[in-house]
Structure 1
């Protein structure tokens, strides 16, 4: 009987938790979020499954054929009620154990494979082993069916988990939270009930109906969560499309306004863009300014980019910061005509204050409450902060006290960065006040840690970006979120009160803000999904209308029935065909019947003398009532369309008035204007159009909305490959407009619309690129290397 205990049980294998798992901090944080989301989702489904399981057991007891069977079923029911409270906690513990073992790489998992059997020793098989095999077969079939239904979202989830595990992509069988893993956890959790094989198999079937039917929704929510956490945020599935002979890999036809094709489009929601590497950007610029060995021989044109990658990974932070200081010195030399700046740079203080003194003065300034800002008072800059700090320092350390060159450079770099950030934030946005309030803590963080300008994803910079993006200039007035502003105010106040050199204060504050961003993104996705479904419905309606019109034209074949009859066919009967195409499709039997009826209508109404067809009249009458025509209208139209001559009982004037007053199928109060065929596209417009049709849903665009060049961001939520209709929503998932891909391509060619790529997604990264361009003095030059694509 030892085979009843599985040594490879997920739960029994060391009872792992995420807290004691050997995982990197960021991976552990993400897995904890995944575990919390999955636990919240599965707990409800598991309780529903147990309720259904209990009902099924009671029903079996009620239908038992003998008293012995009934007592056995009641005994099973009693065991369920006795141990039910242990099932869900054990299941969630097993799920956490599966996640905690993410980075373990065993050669094979025996739990996923049936035990090997020796064909020469059949006599050793027991009933328990048969029971285990039956359970494995049933659970594996459940997992297989769900894996087939999972489709693309499940494959994308496997790719994202591979990033967390640092290994190749997981297939559904190996995915720690995949359908097979959920079934294995169920087997271990179900053992707590101590029930017979038949009852366990019944539990598995109920689990498939109540839990696995909702697994697809969990997969989508997990993909959204990982996207928000920055794990392959732009990941989409694109089918392989082989190139024809002579087709170029590049897409040089699109203009610069269409954006660099090599850059991936931004698809994340507001506040969830993927961060870029600051050190890589800095070293890429340095590499592009220096000759490389391949330049003389004509080999290795991509050497600057490769050197930048190597530099970013191999050069220590101290050397990178030194290079940044060198750029700052060159910048000062290039502006030597500014006497004030030159004097400040060239005059060394008599007493250089140590780091502790600088930090103490900044700490004292941080403790002073910020005065309420009046409408006429100008905002404090980082240079104003430096002057105020120097004045306080000189009161204690003498008039010759000053900052070291490194600290002066830090202040100057922060001043330039703050200036560029301020240019991308609305002047009257609450974010401006919060940025000013963050100046002292951010300066303290940068002074104490020189990696502030070098290290990727520094916590202080991340919070700075979250605050700035809440008031970005590309946001419209209806994109404002008062709840986000309140959360940001609380986070900034907490940093001002608690920061004393521990960067985890910034990290905790930004994590709270990011939680709100994630909740906001989830709401936006729900709203966007509704808009997309509505747009798809309108697109299907338009396609159905086109099919109806094409069918009528084909059946007419050049014949011209009376004008009044033609109006009835093109309006009333066209609505019938449209509704049939929508409900049943153009391959259905109902559609074929409507096509035959269309031909009979046209044959009868176009004939000189043809007898009335009562059967056709009844068919027309029934179809028109399904569309929504009143009984008398449907009867009158049916009588006229089923005979060749006028009906004495039908008033043409009255019926015409009713038809004009009646809204067509799918049209509201304001019918769409008749589409005018646009002129032919130019070569540039055609290149933009072809590029548009390769973009994934969710790509962000910037549209110029005034003569000053101000832009608004809108998200391309969906477009129809058939009709070219495109749907755009704002940062909150609300519909802001619809247009065709053709008109969008023309706007791109004119520079009135452009794709937002990932390197331009985050405000602080754009500000950093702009700061580097100022330092290099490259304004107006085109040899900016890897940084020229960043927007000023």
Structure 2
């Protein structure tokens, strides 16, 4: 039926032409701005290059872009027009590269390793543009569906959608012949000059369609944004793999496992917050250091108290660190400490540093000039960072870096007390995100693989640049979140590839075991001529393995009968050695047998292996009655690897205790996190990613998606039984909310 579909109604053709003309005008202007910005941007990069060759690369790029800009623009617009043509004919837009959503792990294997960074950059641009313009795109999609006679459009089939323009520019920019890092710079400029302004184009198109009478009063309802909840494999809401999605992150691309969850139980209301402040005030009232404070002394002079702006100015005038003090990690002697001792030393050092920063602030500013409300704030922020030190999921190296935010956050809390009461305060969201990212994406033994360096650079910029403008935290939050999304996406791709590789190996192992099992079923107890057995056990079993690997249903097919016929024929030849009747049978059966064998060899891609050469020679000698029966024969035994493996599992499950842990290992769901105690006392956090019922092995991945190790079930059972392995539930709840709840409970106990 689709072949007979003419396309959109003729009355809409002028409207589509106007639509295309608006798009052409907008995009042409955007590309002109883009190409104008290439030269200053490339020169800036060249000035920072460390070598002459690197500088030359950027200068050459300027020339290439200038020379080919018109050709690229023409190619870009021409390819884009094909999308409009497809739309006019009610066909989906064809893309030179497939559109792969961030969550679509079923297709990620088509993204080559060298293309990952490009893919992530393009996908991130598309996601940001779609999120920013989701209402306009929804309205546009609804109106275009009317033009296509009610046919609902996918996002990527909307002409000039973020997917359409971004991937088309990606293809057109290949004409420049630039290296990947230079292309990434072009993509950033494309997002700046085109995608960030494309909302004006969508508004214009929507108005044009509305004025033409197509849904003139369409409300901006977005049906794809839903609030959904999911629990993890163990029914826990805390698992970072499958925890509940929030309405604010409903689109699949922005649903980050590393972004903190929200939960009403952890939202600290103003009543609880005010109770915390009251308890801090009562505690300070009994402290002799504050005996002369104006708000406590009967004749206190309140005029000497500083206002919040004065207090922030005074803090800025103090000598506050703008470089990292890594404490224990700056001392090479720490390398000789055990992980536990190094962690304990780091936490002790950080505890003293936080206390020292607070006390220095009190002494240098004169605590009697600080209002009690600000004293409460200063103390409460200090307690928050002390709870960073108590977080069991943070590596001590991560704690060392995060604690450098103590002084900046003192200023934030004094400037804007909403930081401590409003869960959506940008500085609070950033601290929650940083702590949660540290929990999930920093491995002290592999700091280059995760988010550590990005986190460190971001914290350093806050230490260096923050004075009193809280908008800095907004920028840091946005940039850090982008890095997390890219890391999350990259890890998801790698995890899926690792699983696919393991599945492939597992299928191969199954095929080998099954071929071996079938061969032994037919040959059990047979005393074979060495040459005949060598052919069956090597060449023919390889053929059987490949067939089983290619087609899991092969044993039900006619082709398999030929496989078994060859085995049975060789057995008959072997058992009738020197027998005249067998020789007579072989004379007639050999042509067909040879045809079946050589058909299998063709399938293997090796038409004349040495084992087959020896096999043919032996058959020829038998036919000519020149072959005497060998004195030594190969006896085929029935024991298979599968039986051995099952015996091992039975051995592991002999005791009732081990049976309990065996059941736990078998019922643990894929995606569950484990911690393994290493001999040096360190803990290794890994995720169960694959279990093979064929090999009885469990594969674990590290937090970055790479294979950590593969262990048999009986080894995992032993580790679970002796306590050197156990499951863990990653903490994804907001750090500040949890810490305030703990502070509230602690103060109530005092």
Normalising by structure 1, report the TM-score: 0.54
C-alpha RMSD of the superposition: 6.0
Counterpart selection for 1:356 from 302, 309, 324 = 309
Indicate the SS of the match to 2:699.
strand
Matches within 5 A, 1:345-744: 349-350=293-294, 351=302, 352-365=305-318, 369-370=322-323, 378-379=349-350, 381-394=353-366, 400-404=368-372, 406-424=373-391, 431-456=398-423, 458-464=425-431, 476-481=443-448, 485-556=452-523, 560-562=526-528, 569-583=536-550, 585-587=552-554, 590-607=559-576, 609=579, 610-611=582-583, 612=586, 614-615=590-591, 616=593, 619-620=596-597, 623=600, 626=604, 631-637=609-615, 648=627, 676-678=648-650, 679-680=652-653, 685=661, 688=664, 691-693=667-669, 695=670, 699=671, 701-706=673-678, 711-720=683-692, 725-739=697-711
1:4 aligned residue:
13
1:647-695 alpha-carbon deviations (Å, 9 max, x no partner): 8499898x99xx9xxxxxx9xxxxx9997234458785576456534x4
1:274 aligned residue:
259
How has the CA–CA distance of structure 1 residues 487 and 638 changed in structure 2, closer, same or farther, with 3 Å as cutoff? Answer: same
Unmatched 5+ stretches in structure 2? 1-9, 28-68, 109-122, 146-150, 169-223, 244-253, 295-301, 332-345
How has the CA–CA distance of structure 1 residues 408 and 710 changed in structure 2, closer, same or farther, with 3 Å as cutoff? Answer: farther
1:36 aligned residue:
none
Counterpart selection for 1:326 from 272, 275, 295 = 275
Indicate the SS of the match to 2:275.
helix
For the Cα contact (< 8 Å) 1:421–1:767, is it kept in 2? no
Is 1:343 aligned with 2:287? Answer: yes
For the Cα contact (< 8 Å) 1:714–1:730, is it kept in 2? yes
What is the CA–CA distance in structure 2 between the aligned matches of 1:148 and 1:381, rounded to whole Å?
48
What is the CA–CA distance in structure 1 between the aligned matches of 2:255 and 2:619, rounded to whole Å?
56
Once the 2 structures are TM-superposed, how far is the Cα of residue 772 of structure 1 from its aligned partner?
2.5
1:360-380 alpha-carbon deviations (Å, 9 max, x no partner): 222223666458666579445
What is the CA–CA distance in structure 1 between the aligned matches of 2:450 and 2:238, rounded to whole Å?
33
For the Cα contact (< 8 Å) 2:260–2:433, is it kept in 1? no
1:520-573 alpha-carbon deviations (Å, 9 max, x no partner): 4454445434422321221111221233134334445x6634485667645553
Counterpart selection for 1:88 from 72, 76, 81 = 76
Indicate the SS of the match to 2:476.
helix
Matches within 5 A, 1:67-216: 85-86=73-74, 88-89=76-77, 136-137=88-89, 139=91, 174=152, 177-179=155-157
How has the CA–CA distance of structure 1 residues 717 and 690 changed in structure 2, closer, same or farther, with 3 Å as cutoff? Answer: closer
Aligned residues: 553
2:738 aligned residue:
769
1:223 aligned residue:
none
Normalising by structure 2, report the TM-score: 0.57
Once the 2 structures are TM-superposed, how far is the Cα of residue 515 of structure 1 from its aligned partner?
3.8
What is the CA–CA distance in structure 2 between the aligned matches of 1:168 and 1:708, rounded to whole Å?
56
1:114 aligned residue:
none
1:579-624 alpha-carbon deviations (Å, 9 max, x no partner): 2222455436544422322232334434574324644357547756
Once the 2 structures are TM-superposed, how far is the Cα of residue 163 of structure 1 from its aligned partner?
12
Once the 2 structures are TM-superposed, how far is the Cα of residue 701 of structure 1 from its aligned partner?
0.9
Unmatched 5+ stretches in structure 1? 19-80, 96-110, 112-131, 191-230, 239-249, 252-257, 284-319, 660-665, 667-671, 781-792
Higher helix share: 2
For the Cα contact (< 8 Å) 1:701–1:716, is it kept in 2? yes
What is the CA–CA distance in structure 1 between the aligned matches of 2:680 and 2:542, rounded to whole Å?
47
How has the CA–CA distance of structure 1 residues 604 and 778 changed in structure 2, closer, same or farther, with 3 Å as cutoff? Answer: farther
Indicate the SS of the match to 2:318.
helix
Once the 2 structures are TM-superposed, how far is the Cα of residue 176 of structure 1 from its aligned partner?
5.6
For the Cα contact (< 8 Å) 1:618–1:638, is it kept in 2? no
Indicate the SS of the match to 1:358.
helix
What is the CA–CA distance in structure 1 between the aligned matches of 2:101 and 2:400, rounded to whole Å?
50
1:92-125 alpha-carbon deviations (Å, 9 max, x no partner): 7999xxxxxxxxxxxxxxx9xxxxxxxxxxxxxx
For the Cα contact (< 8 Å) 1:702–1:713, is it kept in 2? yes
What is the CA–CA distance in structure 2 between the aligned matches of 1:348 and 1:163, rounded to whole Å?
55
Once the 2 structures are TM-superposed, how far is the Cα of residue 3 of structure 1 from its aligned partner?
5.3
How has the CA–CA distance of structure 1 residues 530 and 452 changed in structure 2, closer, same or farther, with 3 Å as cutoff? Answer: same
Once the 2 structures are TM-superposed, how far is the Cα of residue 324 of structure 1 from its aligned partner?
2.4
Moved more, 431-440 or 641-650: 641-650
